[in-house]
Each structure stands twice: as C-alpha cells, then as structure tokens.
Amino acid sequence: AQSVAQPEDQVNVAEGNPLTVKCTYSVSGNPYLFWYVQYPNRGLQFLLKYITGDNLVKGSYGFEAEFNKSQTSFHLKKPSALVSDSALYFCAVRDSGSGTYKYIFGTGTRLKVLA
Amino acid sequence: EPEVTQTPSHQVTQMGQEVILRCVPISNHLYFYWYRQILGQKVEFLVSFYNNEISEKSEIFDDQFSVERPDGSNFTLKIRSTKLEDSAMYFCASILRNEQFFGPGTRLTVL
C-alpha cells in the first residue's frame, strides 16, 4: 500500500538560513511526488512535482526538492528561508503502479521561520 | 489562468441536515476528486470520479456521501445527514497530466 511519512510535526529555522522539510514514501510502482503549501484558512497551493527525469526539481518561490530513490525520500529545501515561508507543508505521492490516480498525503509539517 | 472554484466558502449546518458542496473543475480536465481535511490535519482522499461514475472511494466515503456531475461543469459532493465529525475543509481537485489542481476549499461546520 502506498504511504507518505513526514517525520517532523514542526520545523523552526532562522530567516536567511537554509531549510529542509523531510518526506519519505512507500509505493509499489514508480512514485509521482508532490509538495503543497497551505497558509492559514487557505487551500492547497502547488509547489513542485517529480514525475520523471532529473532528481532535483525546482519549484515555486525558490523551493526545490530532491528525489532519492534508494532512500525513498523527497525532501523539500530552500537555500535561504523567509518569514513569509511560514506555513503548513504537505508531501503527497501517487503510485503509478497502483492503477489509481488518488494522492496520499503526509500528515504535514509546520514550518516556522523566525526573524 | 484557469482554476478550480468551490462554493460556498463556508457552510454552517445543523447535525442531521443535508449539505451539497459545489465545485467547478477546470474545463478540459477529466478526473475529479474530493478530499477532506479536519482542522489543519492530514488531507484525506474521499472519492475520485471519471466518465460520470465513481472510480475509487475511501472507507470514509460511506452511504451518507454521494457525488454527481449534474450538468457537465459542476461537480457536487452531497452529505445526506451530517454528523459533528463531518466538520472539516473539503477540497475539490481535477487532474491533468499527473498534476492535481485544488480548489480553495469549503469549510463545513456542523453544529
């Protein structure tokens, strides 16, 4: 069965420092991986995706993520955090081998960027 | 840029009442989804819909829930008899080329 784990409920980082939000996954086929951000009382905003190709994926607002097949990870990164990056971040996976198009979401990681 | 829209943005209802949440997916998309998020927690898959029928549903999607595409543009989620635990954000999504586009959500509050 497909699953996603976000091991950290919250990540605190100082403004200007690099940030990492962790995500690991488990699927039977090839993974399609996604990161979404959610601001308070708002919907899910797409950041980036990995379908195939380069393992390093660049997305919106300076975020990037690296697909690591051997570690089954897809960590979200940004070289220099902004206070405005503070939000709830969700990793999601779709299992290309499952015959389903549904996404499985992680439990979310709250990012706090401190000024 | 086309986007998924949802109405209403907030719905308050009494326990036991029926509610209909509405979504207008992006026009050339073919697969539609409903997800639920309880109070800033995990986003949970409810149901997927393709070619005017349910293609997959989760264990949450019991007999109290139904989906319809009544007129070729709207996509609705109906909860027949709401319970307190149905209070959540409900997100509609449509898919194109492996990417799901989410609507802004409807906050359902059951009193």
| Nearest-angstrom CA–CA distance, B31 and B52 | 9
Contact check, Cβ <8 Å, B41/A107: yes
Which residues of chain B are at the A interface, by a Cβ-Cβ cutoff of 8 Å? 31, 33, 35, 40-45, 48, 55-56, 91, 95, 98-105, 107
Q: Nearest-CA residue of chain B relative to A100?
A: B56
Burial class (CB in 10 A: 0-12, 13-18, 19+), B59: exposed
User: Which residues, 6 or more positions from A22, have their beta carbon under 8 angstroms from its beta carbon?
Assistant: A6, A7, A8, A73, A75, A76, A109
For residue A71, pLDDT over 90 is answered with yes
pLDDT at position B80? 96
Shortest Cα distance from A51 to chain B (angstroms)? 8
Phi, psi of A29 (to 5 degrees): -110, -150
The rounded percent of chain B whose pLDDT value lies above 90 is 69
Average pLDDT of the segment spanning B19-48: 90
Tokens standing for A52? 């195939």
Shortest Cα distance from B105 to chain A (angstroms)? 6
Average pLDDT of the segment spanning B14-24: 96
pLDDT at position B8? 95
Q: Model confidence at B46, in pLDDT bands (50, 70, 90)?
A: very high
Contact check, Cβ <8 Å, A43/B42: no
Q: Model confidence at A85, in pLDDT bands (50, 70, 90)?
A: very high
Which residues are A11's β-sheet partners? Answer: A111
pLDDT at position B92? 95
Full DSSP string of A8-35: -SEEEEETTS-EEE--EEE-SS-EEEEE
For residue A26, pLDDT over 90 is answered with yes
Q: Which of B6, B98, B106, B108 to mutate to test the interface with A (most CBs of A within 10 A)?
A: B98
pLDDT at position B52? 84
Contact check, Cβ <8 Å, B33/A90: no
Strand B10-13 versus strand B106-110 pairing type: parallel
| Nearest-angstrom CA–CA distance, B36 and A47 | 20
The rounded percent of chain B whose pLDDT value lies above 70 is 100
